[in-house]
Amino acid sequence: MTMLSVNVNKIAVLRNSRGGAEPDVLAAARTCIGAGAGGITVHPRPDRRHIRPEDVRVLGALCRGTAEFNIEGNGFAPTRGDYPGLLALVEQTRPTQCTLVPDGDSQITSDHGFDLRLDAARLKPLIAELQTLGARTSLFMDAGAADIARAAELGADRVELYTGPYAAAFARGDYARELDACARAAERACGAGLGVNAGHDLSQANLGALRRAIPYLAEVSIGHALIGEALYAGLVPTVRAYLQILAA
């Protein structure tokens, strides 16, 4: 069954907008795990806009032995203030997985994957270093990337398909082409020996079609839609609703 990893960044956004400690990121993650989520995802950034380094450390401790812990981020972003860098956070918390994403401060959210024609040389030693720290390594990739299978040559264990274009097309009601692109990318990755994850703008509405198109999907990382839906239905029922879609 495809594992659900809940991204709790949006909980941190709400907390940071007011200051203080509420809503509690740790309590939210504990609730998601209790409802059956197999993992927790965080995406710390140097600007501390949501998840902070101290959150990463306490969430890593929570997940140890109870759920997978997935840290997303840009491994090339420099240290800033109390942000020690992605490698340092991985070394401190020893997550199950580290998903490398080519994001920057100017991006509101991740909006593209790696171009391996440009990024391969510097990614390979970074992937090797992450794996010496015990982290399964995944590369955030566009579904249309012709060289997605090359991630295996760099030593990556998995790729995470950027599903933003698919979700946007689904909302328009004309998603067959984007869904096919995701399925074909997954086939190329799987053929190269890579595991396949997916994430970005996935929701209860569009997740089922993607899951059916990629039956061997290893993991989906979902945050924005899930937390938004939970405002109406509650966190536990929403997590369970996603699990039902993945199990169908």
Per-residue pLDDT of 165-185, as tens digits, reads 999 999 999 999 999 999 999
pLDDT per residue as tens digits for the range 115-153: 999 999 999 999 999 999 999 999 999 999 999 999 999
The neighbouring-strand residues paired with 98 are 71, 137
Backbone φ and ψ of 165, nearest 5°: -60, -40
Domain ranges of the chain: 3-247
Closest residue by Cα to residue 182 from 170, 117, 171, 172: 170
Which positions are catalytic? 43, 72, 200
pLDDT per residue as tens digits for the range 203-243: 999 999 999 999 999 999 999 999 999 999 999 999 999 99
| Cα end-to-end distance, the chain, whole Å | 9
Cα(43)–Cα(10) distance, integer angstroms? 10
Report the pLDDT value the prediction gives residue 105, as an integer from 0 to 100: 61
- How sure is the predictor about 201, in pLDDT bands with cuts at 50, 70 and 90? very high
Cα(102)–Cα(191) distance, integer angstroms? 24
Q: Which CATH number is correct for 3-247, 3.20.20.70, 3.40.220.10, 3.40.50.1110, 3.40.50.720?
A: 3.20.20.70
Element (H, E) at 58: helix 53-63
